[in-house]
Structure 1
């Protein structure tokens, strides 16, 4: 289940080369649990065929307000009434102008104006040349459309089909789906400032070698995305991982445990929730060699001394804001055995209200996981599922615990 499960989306295509992305968008929306009804302008038909979109959506594509398939000849009414949302992607400068003026001279703009305003939201993914995007008329028209109740998803920046580079690219299909997931998610963490650490740390031995672990960062990144979907302002402090930053999340990249602690300490004064998902190295080399340590042919190993890294979670949990209840701390434990025993001990040792345990070797690098939630009242299992699904479950649990903690209730009395 995702926030889009069971949703019916009317996907409108206006004219623009970004229409080619609509095929992937339809596929991803279907994968997220949506049904998709495609409506195209005449200009859009110059860039992608209705046959392609019909094959991917499983529904006949509408292109004309005079479509004879509708018994009452009111496609603009019928198509808008069953929709949970109308998404225009790509939304051209011309189509934005049509919406701003309330023009109804073809099917797509007609159904946008005819939609029930209070029940069917209109979301726009603009796509155009950078100069067209920056033109005062475009910005003025978009501001008017937003003032009239539409939601602009924004634009991407990069190379454009015309050969120029800048703002105006349509968001990638996966980014649009992320925005829709967030749009339809309950705002369980609205007003919260969530700080999350994710991934491994890398402790240098010399300029080319170091000590790290197998953490992929996927669980922490999934939590960042789920917290943002739930309405939180999210800052993600990430160790060295090859993962895309979730939409709307501020990301700080670090390498070592000391780097991560420094970044966390800068962000803690503004955070209301701290989730320590990162697999931080417990030790680091006492000294880093200035140059690569070479074999000398003797068979003797280099002498490496180690010192203990700072305990980031314990440091934050002992801070004044955490002790006064202004900062709710959640720890993670990646174990290889005796998960419950070690998770309980770690929660007590770190002094945090909630500890989330998992079996590291069974989840590192994987797209799924199983979690054990340990607090002072007991244990709760979240069975194996995708990390995105578990992240949403954990965010819901966190929201309940936050509400109870701020109301001074024990867990068994939580709503």
Structure 2
């Protein structure tokens, strides 16, 4: 006796009805209409997994590039002036066990000019010896030997690659930095200008920073912008997800009146937009799964109509309405489970190999889905997460089960005498 024969007859009949419609009873293949229902569920589940995995990949990739330039937490004074005691602030920050590194900085806005080309830029004064603890870009510049070129008093500057391209400068070229404010002269207020030498360029892969950010030495920034010292501290954590919690902890331990800004709040608009977009996309694609799941209703209605005589015979043999209902629930549930598992397998197969599939499609179609000059990234990323996949599978199964209830109830209400009248 095999395993199937040990199951209750409701399960055995439900499975038999699933795999043997009239059109395929001879060879035992799944009937066409059941296969179509399963295929619809499978494609809906696969599409949902693939789309959410790609969105997770975009979020992870873009966020990683952003955090290679910006810190997890920034600490600064409310008025934007120098910190009262930078050494004390750094010491207090480093006492937190979640802190992996901290570095002082001066953040100002400036105007860079080279001939007729002028570009606004975010000027960041850094300490080359400590900045590598905070950002990956600084660590890469140190490994390339570029960061060491920022020496106090030399007035050298490192530009984002796109910013350097817009200004038309390369390593060794000179440009002019115009600082905000001015100095009073006998002929009026003149802008404060300083000639800088390009020490190199960097590329974070994020256009917003590559086109606006410039790095100079902390001492040079202090002189140019007339600051008494660092205007803030940049902090990197062992776990970036703990940034809001660590921010609250530091707010209670730091001396003085300071403002703290973690990376989720610093990029709140972008982060919120991504979460809303992902949520709405999940709802839209879930409706596709729902439509596919409710195709089971038509499948079961047709099956019930086809099996009216069988139902009547079972009723005369003593089967209860509950047992009849169970048979067709099993039939729909089997289709839902097979469709969900097939969609899960297909979705994961594509999501984990999208870096191979997309380039092959681009080559075959002779096109580019993500042009480098338009999008932040040029390769299709993917990051399947259990937090998305498990709910997708559960919702698909629940929808398939819900679709079986009404047809199964109708089957249980079949009158044996009326069903056998014309048989």
Is this a same-fold pair by TM over 0.5? no
Tell me: higher relative CO, structure 1 or 2? Use CA pairs within 8 A at least 6 residues apart.
2
**Bigger share in strand:** 1
Query: Greater helix share, 1 or 2?
Result: 2
Normalised TM-score (structure 1): 0.23
TM-score normalised by length of structure 2: 0.22
